[in-house]
Amino acid sequence: MEPAPRPTRPTSMDKHRLTLTVLTLLPLAVACGTDTGSGSGSSSVGTGGGSQVTGVHWRVDSLTTNGTARSAPAGAYLLIEDGRAEGNYGCNGFGASATVRGDRVDLGPARSTDMACAKDPMAFEASFSRTLAHGPLTAAVDRNRLTLTGEEGDRIHLTKEDDASLYGTKWQVTSMVNGDVASSLPEAATGKAWFTFDRTAGTVSGSLGCNRFTAKATVSDGRVTLGAPRATRMMCDGSLMTTERALSTLLDGSLGYRIDHRDITLTSENGKGLTATAKP
């Protein structure tokens, strides 16, 4: 199995290639204001309350703009820490400076990757990025939920999300990687390739996009060593089989792995690899 700022958008998603860029994040001190909380239940973030917002991986659940609510694509998130914000709009990753004062959250100009995705995630991304950038947001925390409200009433609804475990997680493949270049999966393969590590059985199993597979998996010192995968033998069309062949070749040998909250990257010694996201 083979692994995975915004001027011009490609016209072909199947051939789209993304040159990964380093997001330059400007350092900015996080200050706490002197506002007070607003009572029990859902409360505004008050004195020292920036700590309720910062250092937390917030999954974006939905966005309400102009009175219309829409659900967020899988993988959309926001993290504010050490004077900067990073996250995913629903398709593209982004980074920006960030200031938290009392219950006010203010993001600077964002730099983002430039991947093309399907119509719905891109429409959500446009609204989400615009809401984040359009002036200060007021933060209100209720247990594990956060609401960010813009000055014109637009609202972002988020939920605290714990880190994913290597084992027992369904990892859905999102892109293939070759050195510093990543390619999103062809549309026909999107959402169909996934894998799960089983600690007790010492295996990895899942789908290559068309066929199911299983292989021995030994995990040690940040690396996963995989045996030759055994797979079913169904035939599928075009891009599905191309993706499957690439994934099958990758998932046979030693791979370095890195988990970043709910994303995992598997990389071989020749720089080829994949990225995947933990499914709920």
Q: What is the pLDDT of residues 67-85, one digit of tens each?
A: 999 999 988 999 999 999 9
User: Band of the pLDDT at 260, cuts 50, 70, 90?
Assistant: confident
Return the pLDDT at 10: 38
Calculate mean pLDDT across residues 33-48: 38
> How many Å apart are CA 254 and CA 56, to the nearest integer?
32
Say how far residue 158 (Cα) sits from the centre of its chain: 14
Range scoring the smallest mean pLDDT among 160-164, 171-175, 199-203, 270-274: 160-164
Whether the predicted pLDDT of 39 surpasses 60: no
Residue 31 has pLDDT above 60, yes or no: no
Helix intervals (H) in 143-187: none
11: how many CB neighbours lie within 10 A of its CB?
Answer: 8
The model's pLDDT over 85-121, given as tens digits with 9 standing for 90+, comes to 999 998 899 999 999 999 999 999 999 988 878 888 8
Q: How far is CA 243 from CA 41, 96, 176, in A?
A: 49, 33, 9
pLDDT at site 12: 34
DSSP at 48: T
Residue type at 190?
T
- Does the pLDDT of residue 18 top 60, yes or no? no
The 8 Å CB, 24+ separation contacts for 117-123 are 117/13, 117/73, 117/90, 117/91, 117/92, 117/184, 118/187, 118/190, 120/73, 121/73, 121/90, 121/91, 122/90, 122/91
Q: What is the dihedral sign for C-alpha 164, 222, 204, 234?
A: positive
- What local confidence, expressed as pLDDT, does residue 54 receive? 94
- pLDDT for 44 equals 46
Whether the pLDDT of residue 224 is over 70: the answer is yes
DSSP per-residue letters across 56-92: -EEEEEEEEETTEEEEPPTT-EEEEETTEEEEE-SSS
Q: Please give the pLDDT value at position 279.
A: 87
pLDDT cut 90: percent of the chain above it: 61
More confident residue, 126 or 182: 126
* pLDDT above 50: residue 239: yes
- Residue 46's pLDDT is 43
* Per-residue confidence (pLDDT) for residue 7, from 0 to 100: 37
Q: Indicate the burial class of 145 (C-beta count within 10 angstroms; 0-12, 13-18, 19 or more).
A: middle
Residue 264 and residue 276: Cα distance in Å, rounded? Answer: 5
Closest CA to 20 of 126, 176, 248, 225: 176
Query: So what's the pLDDT on residue 33?
Result: 33
Compute the mean pLDDT over every residue in the chain, rounded to the nearest whole number: 82
Region 191-215 average pLDDT: 96
Average pLDDT over residues 203-226: 96
pTM of the model: 0.57
Contact predicate 250/272, CB 8 Å: yes
Sequence-distant (6+) residues with CB within 8 A of 6 are 92, 112, 113, 114
Give the C-alpha separation, 278 to 280, whole Å. Answer: 7
**How many Å apart are CA 41 and CA 83, to the nearest integer?**
28
- Find tokens 């399907």 and name the residue: 118
What pLDDT is attached to residue 19?
30
| pLDDT average, residue stretch 215-229 | 95
Reported residue count of the chain is: 280
Which of 36-40, 123-127, 136-140, 205-209 shows the lowest mean pLDDT across its residues? 36-40
Beta pairing class for 230-231 and 223-226: unpaired
